[in-house]
Structure 1
Amino acid sequence: MEFIKGYTFAPFSKKGSYQGEEAYASLELLKNRTGINFIILVPNGLQDTPQSEEICYTSNATVSDEELIDMIKYAKKIGLRVALKPTVNCKNGTWRAHINFFDEEVPCEPKWSKWFVSYTDFQLHYAKIAEETGCEMFIAGCEMVMSEHREEEWRNVISEIRGVYHGLVSYNTDKYQEHNVKWWDAVDVISSSGYYPISDWEKELDRIERVVNLYKKPFFFAEAGCMSVTGSKNVPNDWSIRGDIDLEGQAEWYERMFQTCSNRQWVSGYAIWSWSIKLYHEKNAMKNGSYEVYGKPAEIVIKKYYNEE
């Protein structure tokens, strides 16, 4: 697998977000400023609560198929490889990792079996688009931690995807979960969310390396990022942290990630989280505490390492 110098672009965008010049200009800016060769696009699926059985991907909360196809074509036109990662979220704000049902089905209670029917339909819709547009990778979900023990159902999802899509298939597990997924043999590429504390990278890479060696599959971080606020470099997965702006701490976190991973030949890339369509003015970067790196020291670090690969 070719090394991934990637970024997640405009995840969970609403209908109409990809229309107009702003979205295309932002993607081109991302490419020019960071040196990426790969983007992940994330169509949004929504269910009401973690125990809802139905997933909707046709509302105004999700970009239209036409917009998505046009954006894929444009990304390819400017020399980028593309992955689709259809991802389900809960309308009530509960993180998708907590989607869960009784393991033994009970009458009158929500069921895994019904949820997986809806989830498979959601994935297949976008897998067909990935096939039609020549996407280089399809990532069959993201951070679905409480579902990952349902091995038979996940194997069926992957099998159904392979029936309509013929590129590389991956699945994006969450941080600390790489060793808990027992069906990595079913995918072509192992991927995870690399939001690890700045001091823990060596330890966590040691653990992940054992998984990679066991399954003998390529691996990359399908998400990785750190906010530019005080304390984020120690708990980069906690998006709720609020505090003083710490641009150097964000840059230091990226430097540590790239430095430690560069010593592991089995790490085949990254897709940084994330780059928006509507960017703040560059002069305001020093006041921005989000995961965005536009105009911040971390952007320079990312481009430096991407240019070295």
Structure 2
Amino acid sequence: MPLPAFRFPRWLGALLLIAAGLLVLAASWWSWPRAVPAPLVPPASATARPAGPPPPDGRMRGVSWVGTDSVSTLDLEPLTKAGVTWIAQMPFGWMAGATEPSVQLRTGVPSRRYWGESDAGILFTARRARQRGIRTLLKPHLWLRGPGGSWVGDINMTSEADWQAWFSSYSAFILHYARLAEAGQLDALCIGTELERTVGHEAEWRALIRQIRQVYRGPLTYAANWSGEFEQVKFWDALDFIGVQAYFPLSTEPSPKKAQLLAGWREPLRRIAAVQKQYNKPVVFTEAGYKTTVDAAAKPWEWPQKLDVLTPTDEATQAACYAALFETFWPKPWFKGIFIWKWYPGLQPDGPSRRHADFTPQHKPAERVMSEWFLKGT
């Protein structure tokens, strides 16, 4: 006996068509931000500065934004609630090693994960932030890939010819981002980060600053390392503010109290104030932050280790470090802001365990300390 013929219900066909349409819309929405081209001249509607005025004290209340594969207004909402008025966006250039005189510029999308560091991602993120009254500091970094040093402060050429080649290559790298910042009307530009062994070449840096000012009209800074580089820079007068990567060691004690941390800031404060007085320029901490560990104040520049996820976190120490930092510097009239390291868009309270020991203040008492100070004077 043959099987009866199957009759396809009309209602099921209609349902399948609706489902297919929804899948197409979802795929289009998911891929749209990554498909944005990288125009050097964005639409006129995107070039306006933030509609809201800056806080009366003019301070940069910032966080170091981690570029991801997309950005939405929901990602930015927690910043507004925390009093954040600036983000630092950090695209990367690459070097094969510390003595390699060539900087590789990658402006496209190396992978979906790093869309936020591409030209398109930077401009898109800045536009979204601007809609919420948040300004952007563009802060390109270098990354060393090969042997000869893992930190950019180790960059050191072995001949004068290589130094000239390096500055030529680096100039092409940073001028690209200067043009991008001007095209997107980004609000400030950092021309270099922790390039400690290069700053002795004062003439080359001054020439580069002149070139940058020809293509970008916004304020400029340089992000000098805490360990002494900020005192070695001789071209602060050519920039608009002094940038310091403020990872100063404050105490070797585990879980130190705030009083110990305040005492630990006395000598760094004296050194920073001396440079500020010499050049009569405002100071901004282009980076500052602390891990959520008992030794957060001992070596603040050290990244969390993989095994840190197995040890108890210390949110109270991180919060105390934040409190001592703000209490020391926020009252100083020459101190014009800070960029907290760092902020992960969309991070949830029950997010990856490795974030628990990380620098981020998100969903920790340190975020409340940051927010309280950021909201003062707004």
Fold equivalence (TM over 0.5): yes
User: What residue in structure 1 maps to residue 123 of structure 2?
Assistant: 69
Relative to structure 1, the CA distance from residue 276 to residue 20 in structure 2 (aligned partners, 3 Å threshold; closer, same or farther) is closer
Q: Deviations over 1:28-67 (max 9, x none)?
A: 32332x2101111111111111112222222617632222
Cα distance, 1:122 vs structure 2 = 0.8
Selected match of 2:132 from 72, 78, 83: 78
- CA RMSD, 1 decimal: 2.0
Tell me how far apart the structure 2 counterparts of residues 84 and 283 of structure 1 sit (CA, whole Å). 30
Selected match of 1:53 from 81, 92, 101: 101
Tell me how far apart the structure 2 counterparts of residues 20 and 220 of structure 1 sit (CA, whole Å). 26
Greater RCO, 1 or 2 (C-alpha within 8 Å, sep 6+)? 1
Relative to structure 1, the CA distance from residue 289 to residue 146 in structure 2 (aligned partners, 3 Å threshold; closer, same or farther) is same
Matched, 1:206 2:270: yes
User: What residue in structure 1 maps to residue 337 of structure 2?
Assistant: 269
Tell me how far apart the structure 1 counterparts of residues 299 and 366 of structure 2 sit (CA, whole Å). 17
Relative to structure 1, the CA distance from residue 285 to residue 20 in structure 2 (aligned partners, 3 Å threshold; closer, same or farther) is closer
User: What residue in structure 1 maps to residue 372 of structure 2?
Assistant: 304
Aligned length, in residue pairs: 295
TM-score, structure 1 normalization: 0.89
User: What residue in structure 1 maps to residue 217 of structure 2?
Assistant: 166
Tell me how far apart the structure 2 counterparts of residues 83 and 20 of structure 1 sit (CA, whole Å). 17
User: What residue in structure 2 maps to residue 156 of structure 1?
Assistant: 207
Matched, 1:282 2:349: yes
Cα distance, 1:234 vs structure 2 = 2.2
Q: What are structure 1's unaligned runs of at least 5 residues? A: 106-110
Matched, 1:232 2:288: no
- What amino acid sits opposite 1:150 in the alignment? H
1:285–1:296: 8 Å Cα contact kept in structure 2? no
Matching of residues 97-176 of structure 1 within 5 Å: 97-102=153-158, 104-105=160-161, 111-176=162-227
SS in 2 for 1:163: helix
Selected match of 1:31 from 51, 71, 80: 80
User: What residue in structure 2 maps to residue 2 of structure 1?
Assistant: 58
Relative to structure 1, the CA distance from residue 284 to residue 65 in structure 2 (aligned partners, 3 Å threshold; closer, same or farther) is closer
TM-score, structure 2 normalization: 0.74
Cα distance, 1:8 vs structure 2 = 0.9
Selected match of 2:360 from 281, 292, 298: 292
Percent identity over the alignment is: 29
Q: Which runs of 4+ in 1 moved over 2 A?
A: 17-21, 24-32, 61-64, 102-105, 197-200, 240-244, 283-287
The structure number with the bigger radius of gyration is: 2
Tell me how far apart the structure 1 counterparts of residues 103 and 352 of structure 2 sit (CA, whole Å). 36
